[in-house]
Amino acid sequence: MDILALNCGSSSVKYQLFDWKKREIIAKGMVERVTIGDSFIIHEVPGRETYREEYECPDHKVAIHLIIKTLSDSKYGVVSDMNQISAVGHRVVHGGEKFTCSVRISEEVLDAIKDVQHLAPLHNPPNISGIEAAQAVLPDVPHIAIFDTAFHQTMPEYAYTYPLPHEWYEKYGVRRYGFHGTSHLYVSKRAAVLLGKASKDCNLITMHIGNGVSHSAIKGGISVDTSMGLTPLEGAVMGTRCGDIDPAIPMFIQQQENLSAKEIDSILNKKSGILGITGQYTDRRDVIEGAENGGCPRCQLALDIEGYRLKKYIGSYLAATGKLDAVVFTAGVGEMGWKIREIALEGLEHLGIILDKEVNRNTMTRKRESVITTPESPIKVFVIPTNEELVFTEDVVAILEGTYTDHMKYPYTFASSDFQL
Protein backbone atom coordinates (compact mmCIF):
# COMPACT_ATOMS: atom_id res chain seq x y z
CA MET A 1 0.00 0.00 0.00
CA ASP A 2 1.62 3.26 -1.20
CA ILE A 3 0.32 6.41 0.47
CA LEU A 4 0.95 9.91 -0.87
CA ALA A 5 0.91 12.64 1.78
CA LEU A 6 0.49 16.26 0.66
CA ASN A 7 1.10 19.25 2.92
CA CYS A 8 0.21 22.52 1.22
CA GLY A 9 1.52 25.41 3.32
CA SER A 10 1.16 29.08 2.56
CA SER A 11 4.37 29.17 0.48
CA SER A 12 5.40 25.53 0.12
CA VAL A 13 4.14 22.03 -0.64
CA LYS A 14 5.76 19.10 1.11
CA TYR A 15 5.12 15.57 -0.08
CA GLN A 16 6.01 12.04 0.86
CA LEU A 17 5.29 8.74 -0.87
CA PHE A 18 5.33 5.95 1.68
CA ASP A 19 5.31 2.17 1.24
CA TRP A 20 3.23 1.13 4.25
CA LYS A 21 3.89 -2.61 3.86
CA LYS A 22 7.66 -2.13 3.95
CA ARG A 23 7.42 0.85 6.35
CA GLU A 24 9.75 2.89 4.19
CA ILE A 25 9.80 6.15 2.29
CA ILE A 26 9.78 5.72 -1.46
CA ALA A 27 10.30 9.43 -2.15
CA LYS A 28 9.84 12.76 -0.45
CA GLY A 29 10.45 16.38 -1.19
CA MET A 30 9.26 19.93 -1.14
CA VAL A 31 8.32 22.66 -3.55
CA GLU A 32 9.55 25.89 -1.97
CA ARG A 33 8.76 29.57 -2.53
CA VAL A 34 5.35 28.83 -4.03
CA THR A 35 3.56 32.10 -4.96
CA ILE A 36 6.56 34.27 -3.97
CA GLY A 37 8.86 33.67 -6.96
CA ASP A 38 12.05 31.69 -7.69
CA SER A 39 10.28 28.47 -6.74
CA PHE A 40 11.91 25.06 -7.04
CA ILE A 41 11.42 21.41 -6.15
CA ILE A 42 13.76 19.29 -4.05
CA HIS A 43 13.08 15.59 -4.70
CA GLU A 44 14.72 12.90 -2.56
CA VAL A 45 14.76 9.18 -3.26
CA PRO A 46 16.69 6.84 -0.93
CA GLY A 47 19.89 5.67 -2.58
CA ARG A 48 19.87 8.37 -5.24
CA GLU A 49 21.30 11.85 -5.48
CA THR A 50 18.89 14.61 -4.53
CA TYR A 51 17.19 16.12 -7.56
CA ARG A 52 16.48 19.84 -7.76
CA GLU A 53 14.60 21.65 -10.49
CA GLU A 54 13.86 25.34 -10.82
CA TYR A 55 10.19 25.60 -11.75
CA GLU A 56 8.01 28.66 -11.38
CA CYS A 57 4.90 27.89 -9.29
CA PRO A 58 2.58 30.90 -9.14
CA ASP A 59 -0.02 28.84 -7.28
CA HIS A 60 -0.42 25.55 -5.47
CA LYS A 61 -2.12 23.74 -8.35
CA VAL A 62 1.02 24.16 -10.43
CA ALA A 63 3.08 22.90 -7.48
CA ILE A 64 0.92 19.75 -7.20
CA HIS A 65 1.28 19.06 -10.91
CA LEU A 66 5.06 19.53 -10.58
CA ILE A 67 5.12 16.92 -7.80
CA ILE A 68 3.10 14.44 -9.85
CA LYS A 69 5.31 15.07 -12.88
CA THR A 70 8.44 14.47 -10.80
CA LEU A 71 7.11 11.31 -9.12
CA SER A 72 6.28 9.79 -12.51
CA ASP A 73 9.30 11.12 -14.43
CA SER A 74 11.08 8.36 -16.38
CA LYS A 75 14.50 9.43 -15.06
CA TYR A 76 13.91 10.90 -11.59
CA GLY A 77 10.56 9.41 -10.66
CA VAL A 78 9.61 6.34 -8.62
CA VAL A 79 6.27 5.24 -10.08
CA SER A 80 5.55 4.07 -13.60
CA ASP A 81 1.81 4.26 -13.08
CA MET A 82 0.03 6.64 -10.69
CA ASN A 83 -2.41 3.81 -9.96
CA GLN A 84 0.30 2.43 -7.67
CA ILE A 85 -0.84 5.04 -5.16
CA SER A 86 -3.53 3.58 -2.87
CA ALA A 87 -4.65 6.77 -1.12
CA VAL A 88 -3.76 10.42 -0.56
CA GLY A 89 -3.62 12.20 2.78
CA HIS A 90 -4.11 15.98 2.72
CA ARG A 91 -3.26 18.50 5.37
CA VAL A 92 -6.20 20.81 6.02
CA VAL A 93 -5.52 23.69 8.35
CA HIS A 94 -8.97 24.62 9.63
CA GLY A 95 -11.91 22.36 10.29
CA GLY A 96 -13.86 24.76 12.47
CA GLU A 97 -15.85 22.88 15.09
CA LYS A 98 -17.22 20.42 12.53
CA PHE A 99 -14.06 18.32 12.25
CA THR A 100 -12.17 17.10 15.29
CA CYS A 101 -10.37 14.17 13.67
CA SER A 102 -9.18 12.95 10.28
CA VAL A 103 -11.91 11.98 7.78
CA ARG A 104 -12.36 10.60 4.29
CA ILE A 105 -13.03 13.45 1.85
CA SER A 106 -16.44 13.46 0.20
CA GLU A 107 -18.10 16.26 -1.74
CA GLU A 108 -19.87 17.29 1.48
CA VAL A 109 -16.60 17.31 3.45
CA LEU A 110 -14.90 19.44 0.80
CA ASP A 111 -17.81 21.89 0.85
CA ALA A 112 -17.54 22.12 4.63
CA ILE A 113 -13.81 22.84 4.35
CA LYS A 114 -14.58 25.58 1.85
CA ASP A 115 -17.18 27.03 4.23
CA VAL A 116 -14.49 27.81 6.83
CA GLN A 117 -11.69 28.88 4.49
CA HIS A 118 -12.19 32.51 5.54
CA LEU A 119 -10.86 31.51 8.97
CA ALA A 120 -7.51 30.44 7.45
CA PRO A 121 -7.13 32.68 4.38
CA LEU A 122 -3.49 31.79 3.72
CA HIS A 123 -3.91 28.04 4.16
CA ASN A 124 -7.34 26.58 3.51
CA PRO A 125 -7.42 27.91 -0.09
CA PRO A 126 -4.10 26.18 -1.00
CA ASN A 127 -5.25 23.08 0.94
CA ILE A 128 -8.40 23.03 -1.19
CA SER A 129 -6.39 23.57 -4.38
CA GLY A 130 -4.17 20.65 -3.43
CA ILE A 131 -7.16 18.38 -2.81
CA GLU A 132 -8.84 19.31 -6.10
CA ALA A 133 -5.62 18.99 -8.11
CA ALA A 134 -4.83 15.60 -6.58
CA GLN A 135 -8.40 14.36 -7.08
CA ALA A 136 -8.15 15.30 -10.75
CA VAL A 137 -4.98 13.24 -11.17
CA LEU A 138 -6.06 10.39 -8.87
CA PRO A 139 -9.86 10.31 -9.07
CA ASP A 140 -10.31 6.64 -8.13
CA VAL A 141 -8.42 6.48 -4.81
CA PRO A 142 -9.54 7.59 -1.33
CA HIS A 143 -8.52 11.08 -0.28
CA ILE A 144 -8.28 11.74 3.46
CA ALA A 145 -8.26 15.11 5.24
CA ILE A 146 -6.04 15.49 8.30
CA PHE A 147 -6.88 18.63 10.28
CA ASP A 148 -4.42 20.89 12.06
CA THR A 149 -7.07 21.73 14.62
CA ALA A 150 -7.63 18.17 15.89
CA PHE A 151 -4.60 17.94 18.21
CA HIS A 152 -5.67 21.00 20.18
CA GLN A 153 -9.22 19.84 20.92
CA THR A 154 -7.97 18.78 24.38
CA MET A 155 -7.61 22.41 25.48
CA PRO A 156 -9.72 23.25 28.54
CA GLU A 157 -12.64 25.62 28.08
CA TYR A 158 -10.88 28.44 29.93
CA ALA A 159 -7.97 28.21 27.47
CA TYR A 160 -9.97 28.20 24.25
CA THR A 161 -12.71 30.69 25.23
CA TYR A 162 -12.13 34.36 24.42
CA PRO A 163 -13.27 37.13 26.78
CA LEU A 164 -15.85 38.30 24.23
CA PRO A 165 -19.67 38.20 24.15
CA HIS A 166 -20.35 34.51 24.64
CA GLU A 167 -23.03 34.45 21.97
CA TRP A 168 -20.24 34.94 19.39
CA TYR A 169 -19.01 31.49 20.33
CA GLU A 170 -22.50 30.04 20.37
CA LYS A 171 -23.52 31.56 17.02
CA TYR A 172 -20.27 31.70 15.07
CA GLY A 173 -17.85 29.33 16.80
CA VAL A 174 -15.49 32.13 17.83
CA ARG A 175 -12.90 30.41 20.02
CA ARG A 176 -9.26 29.34 20.02
CA TYR A 177 -8.68 26.36 17.74
CA GLY A 178 -4.91 26.09 17.26
CA PHE A 179 -3.01 24.84 14.24
CA HIS A 180 0.07 22.85 13.13
CA GLY A 181 -1.50 20.03 15.15
CA THR A 182 0.18 17.17 13.29
CA SER A 183 3.60 18.77 13.80
CA HIS A 184 3.04 19.34 17.52
CA LEU A 185 1.74 15.77 17.81
CA TYR A 186 4.76 14.26 16.05
CA VAL A 187 7.50 16.16 17.88
CA SER A 188 5.82 15.77 21.28
CA LYS A 189 5.74 11.98 20.80
CA ARG A 190 9.37 12.00 19.68
CA ALA A 191 10.42 14.21 22.62
CA ALA A 192 8.84 11.71 25.00
CA VAL A 193 10.94 8.94 23.42
CA LEU A 194 14.12 11.03 23.77
CA LEU A 195 13.27 11.70 27.41
CA GLY A 196 12.68 7.99 28.02
CA LYS A 197 9.20 8.69 29.36
CA ALA A 198 5.64 7.88 28.42
CA SER A 199 3.95 10.69 26.52
CA LYS A 200 1.33 11.02 29.27
CA ASP A 201 4.11 11.80 31.76
CA CYS A 202 5.68 14.64 29.75
CA ASN A 203 5.29 18.40 30.06
CA LEU A 204 6.59 20.14 26.95
CA ILE A 205 6.63 23.39 25.01
CA THR A 206 6.71 22.70 21.29
CA MET A 207 7.66 25.54 18.95
CA HIS A 208 6.82 25.12 15.27
CA ILE A 209 8.64 27.92 13.46
CA GLY A 210 8.38 28.24 9.70
CA ASN A 211 6.71 30.86 7.53
CA GLY A 212 3.80 30.18 9.87
CA VAL A 213 4.61 29.92 13.57
CA SER A 214 2.75 28.33 16.46
CA HIS A 215 3.59 27.08 19.91
CA SER A 216 1.86 24.55 22.12
CA ALA A 217 1.86 24.01 25.87
CA ILE A 218 1.63 20.26 26.38
CA LYS A 219 0.82 18.96 29.86
CA GLY A 220 0.60 15.25 30.51
CA GLY A 221 1.06 14.59 26.79
CA ILE A 222 -1.91 16.67 25.59
CA SER A 223 -2.30 20.22 24.33
CA VAL A 224 -3.57 22.58 27.03
CA ASP A 225 -2.87 25.83 25.21
CA THR A 226 -1.57 27.05 21.87
CA SER A 227 -0.61 30.38 20.37
CA MET A 228 -2.77 30.48 17.23
CA GLY A 229 -6.43 31.20 17.77
CA LEU A 230 -9.66 31.38 15.76
CA THR A 231 -7.40 31.78 12.73
CA PRO A 232 -3.66 31.29 12.17
CA LEU A 233 -3.21 35.08 12.50
CA GLU A 234 -2.90 35.15 16.30
CA GLY A 235 0.25 34.37 18.25
CA ALA A 236 3.92 34.64 17.33
CA VAL A 237 5.56 36.85 14.71
CA MET A 238 5.37 35.03 11.36
CA GLY A 239 6.59 35.42 7.80
CA THR A 240 3.74 37.67 6.67
CA ARG A 241 1.34 37.55 9.66
CA CYS A 242 1.53 39.95 12.57
CA GLY A 243 0.64 37.64 15.45
CA ASP A 244 -0.32 39.27 18.76
CA ILE A 245 -1.05 43.00 18.51
CA ASP A 246 -3.31 45.55 20.18
CA PRO A 247 -6.74 44.75 18.68
CA ALA A 248 -7.48 48.46 18.36
CA ILE A 249 -4.71 48.93 15.79
CA PRO A 250 -6.62 47.54 12.77
CA MET A 251 -9.60 49.85 13.41
CA PHE A 252 -7.29 52.82 13.97
CA ILE A 253 -5.41 52.24 10.68
CA GLN A 254 -8.65 51.48 8.84
CA GLN A 255 -9.89 54.95 9.76
CA GLN A 256 -6.56 56.72 9.16
CA GLU A 257 -5.96 55.13 5.74
CA ASN A 258 -9.63 54.82 4.70
CA LEU A 259 -9.24 51.09 4.12
CA SER A 260 -11.89 48.39 3.87
CA ALA A 261 -12.10 45.49 6.31
CA LYS A 262 -10.93 43.17 3.52
CA GLU A 263 -7.88 45.36 2.87
CA ILE A 264 -6.99 45.41 6.57
CA ASP A 265 -7.36 41.63 6.76
CA SER A 266 -5.03 41.24 3.78
CA ILE A 267 -2.42 43.53 5.33
CA LEU A 268 -2.44 41.67 8.66
CA ASN A 269 -2.19 38.27 6.96
CA LYS A 270 -0.01 38.97 3.93
CA LYS A 271 2.00 42.15 4.49
CA SER A 272 2.89 42.09 8.19
CA GLY A 273 5.19 39.97 10.38
CA ILE A 274 8.77 39.64 9.13
CA LEU A 275 7.77 41.14 5.77
CA GLY A 276 6.18 44.13 7.47
CA ILE A 277 9.23 44.79 9.65
CA THR A 278 11.89 44.36 6.96
CA GLY A 279 9.83 45.73 4.09
CA GLN A 280 11.21 43.09 1.73
CA TYR A 281 11.77 39.61 3.20
CA THR A 282 9.73 36.69 4.51
CA ASP A 283 12.41 33.99 4.32
CA ARG A 284 14.49 34.05 7.53
CA ARG A 285 17.59 33.08 5.54
CA ASP A 286 17.31 36.38 3.71
CA VAL A 287 16.71 38.21 6.99
CA ILE A 288 19.75 36.66 8.69
CA GLU A 289 21.94 37.43 5.70
CA GLY A 290 20.72 41.04 5.68
CA ALA A 291 21.45 41.39 9.40
CA GLU A 292 24.90 39.79 9.19
CA ASN A 293 25.97 42.00 6.30
CA GLY A 294 24.96 45.08 8.28
CA GLY A 295 23.17 46.56 5.32
CA CYS A 296 19.67 46.08 6.68
CA PRO A 297 19.09 47.37 10.24
CA ARG A 298 15.46 46.34 10.04
CA CYS A 299 16.57 42.72 9.44
CA GLN A 300 18.32 42.76 12.80
CA LEU A 301 15.25 44.35 14.34
CA ALA A 302 13.08 41.57 12.88
CA LEU A 303 15.35 38.91 14.41
CA ASP A 304 15.31 40.65 17.78
CA ILE A 305 11.54 41.00 17.77
CA GLU A 306 10.96 37.38 16.79
CA GLY A 307 13.45 36.05 19.34
CA TYR A 308 11.98 38.20 22.11
CA ARG A 309 8.44 37.06 21.34
CA LEU A 310 9.59 33.41 21.40
CA LYS A 311 11.22 33.99 24.77
CA LYS A 312 7.99 35.40 26.18
CA TYR A 313 5.98 32.41 24.99
CA ILE A 314 8.42 30.02 26.67
CA GLY A 315 7.97 31.88 29.95
CA SER A 316 4.19 32.00 29.77
CA TYR A 317 3.83 28.35 28.78
CA LEU A 318 6.18 27.28 31.53
CA ALA A 319 3.63 28.82 33.89
CA ALA A 320 0.85 26.85 32.15
CA THR A 321 2.55 23.44 32.17
CA GLY A 322 4.19 23.49 35.59
CA LYS A 323 7.41 21.49 35.94
CA LEU A 324 8.77 21.33 32.40
CA ASP A 325 10.67 18.45 30.82
CA ALA A 326 11.70 20.01 27.52
CA VAL A 327 11.31 22.70 24.89
CA VAL A 328 11.20 21.51 21.28
CA PHE A 329 12.08 23.55 18.18
CA THR A 330 10.83 22.25 14.84
CA ALA A 331 9.89 23.18 11.24
CA GLY A 332 12.14 25.01 8.78
CA VAL A 333 13.28 27.92 10.95
CA GLY A 334 13.09 25.96 14.19
CA GLU A 335 15.32 23.25 12.73
CA MET A 336 17.73 25.44 10.76
CA GLY A 337 17.67 28.88 12.39
CA TRP A 338 20.35 28.64 15.10
CA LYS A 339 20.49 32.43 15.39
CA ILE A 340 16.80 32.76 16.19
CA ARG A 341 17.00 29.88 18.70
CA GLU A 342 19.95 31.56 20.40
CA ILE A 343 18.16 34.89 20.77
CA ALA A 344 15.08 33.11 22.15
CA LEU A 345 16.98 31.02 24.72
CA GLU A 346 19.62 33.47 25.94
CA GLY A 347 19.14 34.54 29.54
CA LEU A 348 16.78 31.72 30.52
CA GLU A 349 19.22 30.02 32.90
CA HIS A 350 17.13 31.16 35.86
CA LEU A 351 14.24 29.13 34.42
CA GLY A 352 16.40 26.03 34.07
CA ILE A 353 17.37 26.31 30.39
CA ILE A 354 21.13 26.36 29.83
CA LEU A 355 21.93 26.66 26.13
CA ASP A 356 25.11 25.15 24.68
CA LYS A 357 25.85 27.88 22.15
CA GLU A 358 28.42 25.93 20.18
CA VAL A 359 26.19 22.88 19.82
CA ASN A 360 23.26 25.12 18.88
CA ARG A 361 25.26 26.86 16.17
CA ASN A 362 26.28 23.51 14.71
CA THR A 363 22.72 22.20 14.71
CA MET A 364 21.33 23.07 11.30
CA THR A 365 19.88 19.90 9.87
CA ARG A 366 16.54 18.36 9.02
CA LYS A 367 17.89 14.82 9.31
CA ARG A 368 18.84 14.43 12.98
CA GLU A 369 17.29 14.89 16.43
CA SER A 370 19.58 16.98 18.65
CA VAL A 371 19.91 18.30 22.19
CA ILE A 372 21.19 21.89 22.26
CA THR A 373 21.33 22.41 26.02
CA THR A 374 24.22 21.45 28.28
CA PRO A 375 24.15 18.15 30.21
CA GLU A 376 23.57 20.17 33.40
CA SER A 377 20.48 21.94 32.06
CA PRO A 378 17.44 20.93 34.17
CA ILE A 379 15.18 21.51 31.16
CA LYS A 380 16.26 19.99 27.86
CA VAL A 381 15.90 21.78 24.55
CA PHE A 382 15.53 19.53 21.52
CA VAL A 383 15.68 20.28 17.82
CA ILE A 384 13.46 17.63 16.23
CA PRO A 385 12.76 17.54 12.49
CA THR A 386 9.02 17.36 12.10
CA ASN A 387 7.36 14.70 9.99
CA GLU A 388 3.77 15.75 9.49
CA GLU A 389 3.56 13.56 6.40
CA LEU A 390 4.12 10.42 8.48
CA VAL A 391 1.23 11.45 10.74
CA PHE A 392 -0.90 11.87 7.61
CA THR A 393 0.16 8.44 6.36
CA GLU A 394 -0.61 6.65 9.60
CA ASP A 395 -4.00 8.35 9.92
CA VAL A 396 -4.84 7.43 6.32
CA VAL A 397 -3.90 3.77 6.80
CA ALA A 398 -5.80 3.58 10.09
CA ILE A 399 -8.94 5.03 8.48
CA LEU A 400 -8.70 2.64 5.53
CA GLU A 401 -8.22 -0.32 7.90
CA GLY A 402 -10.90 0.83 10.35
CA THR A 403 -8.52 1.11 13.33
CA TYR A 404 -8.38 4.89 13.64
CA THR A 405 -8.78 6.40 17.11
CA ASP A 406 -7.88 9.78 18.60
CA HIS A 407 -4.26 10.90 18.80
CA MET A 408 -4.03 10.23 22.55
CA LYS A 409 -4.69 6.49 22.19
CA TYR A 410 -3.58 5.53 18.69
CA PRO A 411 -0.22 3.64 18.76
CA TYR A 412 1.77 5.67 16.23
CA THR A 413 4.96 3.97 15.07
CA PHE A 414 7.05 7.08 15.77
CA ALA A 415 6.05 6.98 19.45
CA SER A 416 8.19 3.86 19.83
CA SER A 417 11.86 3.79 20.86
CA ASP A 418 12.47 1.40 17.93
CA PHE A 419 11.43 4.01 15.38
CA GLN A 420 14.11 5.03 12.89
CA LEU A 421 14.13 8.49 11.29
User: Does the structure show a pLDDT above 80 at 406?
Assistant: no
Confidence tier at 112 by pLDDT (50, 70, 90): very high
User: Does the structure show a pLDDT above 80 at 421?
Assistant: no
What DSSP state is assigned to residue 404?
-
Give the residue-averaged pLDDT of 279-305.
Answer: 92
Tell me the per-residue pLDDT of 57-96, one tens digit each, with 9 for 90 and over.
998 888 988 998 999 888 999 988 878 899 999 989 888 8
Average pLDDT in the chain: 92
Fold topology of 2-147+390-415 = Nucleotidyltransferase; domain 5 (3.30.420)
User: Does the structure show a pLDDT above 80 at 292?
Assistant: yes
Residue 353 is predicted with a pLDDT of 98
Confidence tier at 293 by pLDDT (50, 70, 90): confident
Nearest CA to 213 out of 231, 230, 236 is that of 236
- Residue predicted with more confidence, 101 or 161: 161
For 212-247, letters b (16+ CB in 10 Å) and e give: bbbbbbbbbbbbbbbbbbbbbbbbbbbbbbbbeeee
User: Does the structure show a pLDDT above 80 at 120?
Assistant: no
Catalytic residue among 148, 225, 283, 325, which? 148
Residue 133 is predicted with a pLDDT of 84
Angle (CA) 50 194 309, round 5°: 80
Minimum mean pLDDT range among 128-142, 196-210, 261-275, 331-345: 128-142
Give the residue-averaged pLDDT of 219-233.
Answer: 95
CB 377 within 8 A of CB 383: no
Question: Would residue 148 show up in a list of annotated catalytic residues for this protein?
Answer: yes
CA 149 to centroid of chain Cα atoms? 11
Report d(CA 27, CA 50) in Å as an integer: 10
What DSSP state is assigned to residue 154?
G
Tell me the per-residue pLDDT of 359-395, one tens digit each, with 9 for 90 and over.
999 999 888 999 999 999 999 999 999 988 888 889 9
Domain 197-383 architecture? 2-Layer Sandwich (3.30)
Cα torsion through 207, 99, 28, 283, rounded to 10: -40
CB 17 within 8 A of CB 141: no
User: Does the structure show a pLDDT above 80 at 407?
Assistant: no
Domain with CATH 3.30.420.40 in the chain: 2-147+390-415, 197-383
Question: From the CB of residue 300, how many other CB atoms can be counted at a distance below 10 Å?
Answer: 16
Report d(CA 222, CA 155) in Å as an integer: 8
Give the global pTM: 0.87
Tell me the per-residue pLDDT of 296-337, one tens digit each, with 9 for 90 and over.
899 999 999 999 999 999 999 999 999 999 999 999 999 999
Residue 303 is predicted with a pLDDT of 96
User: Does the structure show a pLDDT above 90 at 250?
Assistant: yes
